[in-house]
A = this chain, B = another copy of it.
Amino acid sequence: MKAAVIGGGVIGGGWAARFLLNGWDVDVFDPDPDAQRKIGEVLANARDALPMLYETALPAEGRLRFVATVADAVEGADYIQESVPERLALKHKVYAEIEAANRNTPLGSSTSGFKPSDLGAGFASADRLFVAHPFNPVYLLPLVELVPGAAAAGVVDQATELLRGVGFFPLRVRAEIDAHLADRFLEAVWREALWLLHDDVATTQEIDEAIRMGFGLRWAQMGLFETYRIAGGEGGMAHFVEQFGPALKWPWTKLMDVPDMTPDFAAKIGAQSDAQSGARSIRELERLRDRNLVAILRALKREGSGAGQVIADHEAALPALDAGTGPYITVRRVIPSDWTDYNGHMNESRYGQIWSDAADAILSHVGAGPDYVARGLSYFTVETNTRFLAETLAGEAVMCETEVTLGEGKKLALEHCMKRASDGAVLATCGQFLLHVSLETRASCAPEPAVEAAVRALVTV
């Protein structure tokens, strides 16, 4: 698959990174002589963060090319994404160049504010043009707002599938309005925040604390209405609306009015932000943001909730490991940053996660995977013996080879060998002994005959 990315910068770079790390080839057109450096920086952040979201390896990275013309970029593309600056005349100029070279490929625009009917006015190929508005960092946040405008239903369906395939959560917006959905909320909060700064009710840091210590934590997992539904208690949403309706009449916001952005006011905001965050460079802040997002997304993935479920679904659609013949490759992954400890390397407990995942791969292979567990049967680990031979660092790609050394009745013994993917160095080994159990009685019992036969067939010693 090939994506054409028209316009680099932070947003275009984020699009390029998401496609590349999901195995797509990407052609970038951007007349900015600095585009290659800018996209390189986004890509470095993405390579550091995105693979950490998954318990398995992403596909091999695609090929990145910087091309000299819009026509070169869109030729043979399966998807085109436009992320040029927010000036309608410029966007129209770019669409004319695209249309001259390609009239059929789905064409998404990253615009924050323009409606698709504004974008497509006057173009013969407007039926393949739609808004696909992402959120920074584009390579980590799942949301992309899809506003169809005049685009054909088939095109929008096709774009939805393609974008889901690279890990996005495409949200179809029913009607076109200025700023789509999410940015309307961001604009409302921004206006209110400007008043609080202007009136010296709070500083930038105090406003950030008011958000991230409270409702920001609620919104990362449930959003607005589901949270308030709970606040409404057994009466649900109707009760909440009744109870809090009167507040709409109270002077709790100053929103349509906007403070004048005088040079003095702009300088005050800049100075407060420097006092809050100036000790860290933008690169350091990006790294901090991405580490936090990885940690939150991984936490929600374990809970199977919200954006975490999007990651889990994407992971389930990634290509399965090639079993080959024993020893089997049972794990292939990147070490996430939340697996390290104060010694600067992977904590010993996380080696246990590798052994657990490796055993799961063998169990799936012999027919003792999720369906078998749902039938009330499983294997429990009763003993492990781990040798830690070399340090493992965050961001390193590793693999685990597993041999089945015993498979008789309810007994199963595995020998795992975890290696660094780059040079094959052995990082740790583990002998793991498991017993087959009934999940009802929680006591050991014989496996189903088909599973026992499949286990026996794997024994190599």
Chain B residues whose C-beta falls within 8 Å of the C-beta of A218 in the assembled complex: 135, 141, 289, 293
Cβ-defined contact, B143 with A209, below 8 A: yes
Is A111 part of the contact surface with B, judged by Cβ < 8 Å?
no
A189 to B224, alpha carbons, bound, how many Å? 9
Contacts A252-B183, A382-B388, A384-B385; is A213 near B306 (CB within 8 Å)?
yes
Contacts A224-B208, A303-B291, A352-B349; is A253 near B191 (CB within 8 Å)?
yes
Cβ-defined contact, B373 with A383, below 8 A: no
Q: How many copies of the shown chain assemble into the complex?
A: 2
Q: Which residue of B lies closest to A238 (CB)?
A: B270
Surface stretch bound by B, among A100-108, A243-251, A404-412: A243-251
Q: Which residue of B lies closest to A302 (CB)?
A: B338
Cβ-defined contact, A174 with B202, below 8 A: yes
Cβ-defined contact, A201 with B177, below 8 A: yes
Partner of A266 from B231, B241, B274 at Cβ < 8 Å: B241
Cβ-defined contact, B192 with A188, below 8 A: yes
Chain B residues whose C-beta falls within 8 Å of the C-beta of A269 in the assembled complex: 225, 237-238, 241
Q: Which residue of B lies closest to A437 (CB)?
A: B343
Cβ-defined contact, B208 with A274, below 8 A: no
Tell which of A218, A241, A381 has the most Cβ of chain B within 10 Å: A218
Contacts A293-B217, A352-B348; is A201 near B181 (CB within 8 Å)?
yes
Question: At the interface, is chain A mostly helix, strand, loop or mixed?
Answer: helix
Interface string of A281-294 (1 = CB under 8 A from B): 01001101101110
Chain B residues whose C-beta falls within 8 Å of the C-beta of A302 in the assembled complex: 295, 338
Partner of A202 from B173, B194, B207, B270 at Cβ < 8 Å: B173
Interface string of A192-229 (1 = CB under 8 A from B): 11101001111011111111111111111111111101
Is A10 part of the contact surface with B, judged by Cβ < 8 Å?
yes
Cβ-defined contact, B348 with A252, below 8 A: no
Chain B residues whose C-beta falls within 8 Å of the C-beta of A184 in the assembled complex: 192, 196, 252-253
A212 to B218, alpha carbons, bound, how many Å? 9
- Within the complex, the shortest CB–CB distance from A351 to chain B, in Å, comes to 7
Is A157 part of the contact surface with B, judged by Cβ < 8 Å?
no
Cβ-defined contact, B207 with A181, below 8 A: yes
Chain B residues whose C-beta falls within 8 Å of the C-beta of A206 in the assembled complex: 171, 173-174, 181
Cβ-defined contact, B252 with A178, below 8 A: yes
A458 to B416, alpha carbons, bound, how many Å? 34
Cβ-defined contact, A229 with B185, below 8 A: no
Is A136 part of the contact surface with B, judged by Cβ < 8 Å?
yes
- Within the complex, the shortest CB–CB distance from A195 to chain B, in Å, comes to 8
Partner of A229 from B210, B217, B277 at Cβ < 8 Å: B277
Chain B residues whose C-beta falls within 8 Å of the C-beta of A211 in the assembled complex: 182, 185, 219, 223-224
A277 to B292, alpha carbons, bound, how many Å? 28
- Within the complex, the shortest CB–CB distance from A170 to chain B, in Å, comes to 10
Interface residues of A (CB under 8 A from B): 10, 112-113, 135-136, 141-143, 145, 169, 171, 173-175, 177-179, 181-194, 196, 199-202, 204-227, 229-234, 236-238, 241-242, 244-245, 247-253, 255-258, 261, 266-267, 269-270, 272-274, 276-278, 282, 285-286, 288-289, 291-293, 295-300, 302-303, 305-307, 310, 337-338, 341-344, 347-353, 355-356, 370, 373, 378, 380-388, 391, 439, 442
Q: A187-B253, A188-B192, A342-B370 are in contact. List 20 more A-B contacts (CB 8 A).
A: A10-B233, A135-B215, A178-B252, A182-B210, A183-B252, A188-B191, A189-B224, A191-B253, A207-B225, A216-B216, A216-B220, A225-B272, A236-B274, A237-B270, A237-B274, A245-B261, A253-B255, A302-B338, A342-B373, A384-B388
List 8 A-B pairs, Cβ < 8 Å. A187-B253, A205-B225, A209-B223, A221-B293, A242-B266, A347-B353, A348-B356, A384-B388
